[in-house]
Amino acid sequence: MAKIRAVFTDIDNTLTSPITHEIPQSAVRALELARKNGILVVAATGRNLIGNLKQPIENQEFDAYITVNGQYCYLPDGTTLRFAPFDPDVVERTIDLGLEHVFFASYCEKGRIYVNGIDPLMEEFFSFFKSPVPPVLPVEKIDKEGILSIIPFVPHTLDENLRTALPECQLLRWSPYSCDLVPKSGGKEVGLSMILEHFGLSLNESLAIGDGGNDVGMISTAGIGVAVGGAVKAAKDAADFIAPRVDDNAIEVTFKHFGLI
């Protein structure tokens, strides 16, 4: 087995506790030790890490960032490795689907996040992040050329309707309140491959750890895929190793198991 030289970790419910929504101290120590041992540590998230959405990791150092499910990838100095907005037609059709099925969505650009309305599912979602609901922007003012992330706030019963209406998108669900739309040309795994290429590393030298539907591609693609305890079935099925739950020191146990620390 190749020596692991890069670790890619999801944030919510993988790096952070699903109970406290903070990073356990055992994980903080493990990440610091791994970096001291010369291992690249990369945050891989569905979030756009701006404003309050950066809060869980704002004091944690990473060597690179995969954000909004691989649509925006960059280095700590701001160097952009990937910036891939949605086709404007997909944005238009998502807005129309919201009108048809009576739901709202959040729309994320590089520097701002907004919603086109507020409902209980959306309020529950942002309450989970301990974050206020973003500002409401009328649909006619949405910048359809620069959207990196679309999160419809819908129950799972609408998932198939969205898949059928948006065949060029992956629908990834990790929350009961919402799903993530990601172009089929994207995903965290695309960001993983791009960052490895940038640093001159191979897939066999990577480990990816996550818990949600939007982590499955990354877990499957990395040299070693890990799912934390409590992960969705698809993530566990894709994994080579099942870690304990986050609050049972998942990151530390995984890093020790694979000799990273």
Task: Say which CATH number the domain at 146 has.
Answer: 3.30.1240.10
Identify whether residues 117 and 231 lie together within a single domain.
no
The pLDDT tens digits of the residues spanning 96-109 come to: 999 999 999 999 99
pTM: 0.88
Count of the separate structural domains present in the chain: 2
Is residue 158 domain-shared with residue 204, that is, in the same domain?
no
176 plus 196 within the same structural domain: no
- Report, as ranges of residue numbers, the positions in the chain whose pLDDT lies below 70: 1
Residues of the chain with pLDDT > 90, as a percent, come to 84
Structure tokens at 45: 């998230």
Shared-domain flag, residues 47 and 163: no
Q: Decide if 1 is inside a domain.
A: no
Check residue 136 and report its DSSP letter.
B
Task: Answer with the one of 139, 164, 183 that is the final residue of a domain.
Answer: 183
DSSP E strands in 18-137: the ranges are 40-44, 64-67, 72-74, 80-83, 105-108, 113-115
| DSSP 8-class letter at 212 | S
Domain presence at residue 111: yes
Taking only the tens place, the pLDDT of each residue in 153-176 is: 999 999 999 999 999 999 988 889
- Structural domain contains residue 22: yes
- State the burial class of residue 215 (Cβ atoms within 10 Å of its Cβ: 0-12, 13-18, 19+): buried
Residue in 212, 173, 215 with CA at minimum distance from that of residue 192: 215
Which of 183, 213, 242 is the C-terminal boundary of a domain?
Answer: 183
Whether 48 is in a domain gets the answer yes
Backbone angles phi, psi at 110, to 5 degrees: -60, -40
Domain range holding 111? Answer: 88-183
Residue 25 token pair: 């101290």
Domain identity same for 75 and 194: yes
Give 22's contacts (C-beta < 8 A, 6+ positions apart): 16, 56
Separation between Cα atoms, residue 230 and residue 77, nearest integer Å: 34
210 bridge partner residues: 227
